[in-house]
């Protein structure tokens, strides 16, 4: 009986270790749950739209930086361009 419990728990942690995205997803769900419980305004439609809007902008920039890093070109001005475009375009 104890061997079965050990193998189930062991396989769970083995999956997290072999697939790091699972650990990131679990951490994201825990953080999302904590903020949902602590703040009543966190789990509203307008707040979620705002979060996903910001994440989409940063994700598009991250894709561009990933292409630069793959080609061994490191561009540190991406943050400055992001800040300047936010300042210029409001």
Sole residue written with tokens 């904590």: 34
Say yes or no: 35 and 73 in one domain.
no
Same domain assignment for residues 49 and 36:
no
Distance CA 12, CA 81 (A): 42
Token readout for 64 is 């561009």
Instruction: Give the pLDDT score at 65.
Output: 83
Of 53, 86, 70, residue with least CA distance to 78: 86
Same-domain status, 48 and 66: yes
- pLDDT of 30 reads 94
| Residue ranges making up the domain that contains 59 | 44-90
> Do residues 22 and 48 both lie within one domain?
no
Q: Give every residue of the chain whose pLDDT is below 70, as ranges.
A: 1-10, 90
Residues 22 and 64 in one domain: no
Domain total of the chain: 2
* Model confidence, pTM: 0.51
């Amino acid at each position: 009986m104890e061997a079965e419990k050990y193998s189930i728990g062991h396989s769970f942690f083995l999956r997290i270790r072999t697939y790091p995205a699972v650990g990131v997803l679990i951490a994201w769900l825990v953080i999302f749950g904590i903020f949902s419980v602590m703040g009543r305004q966190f789990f509203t439609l307008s707040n979620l739209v705002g979060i996903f809007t910001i994440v989409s902008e940063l994700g598009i920039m991250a894709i561009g930086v990933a292409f630069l890093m793959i080609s061994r070109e490191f561009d540190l001005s991406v943050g400055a361009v992001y800040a300047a475009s936010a300042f210029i375009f409001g």
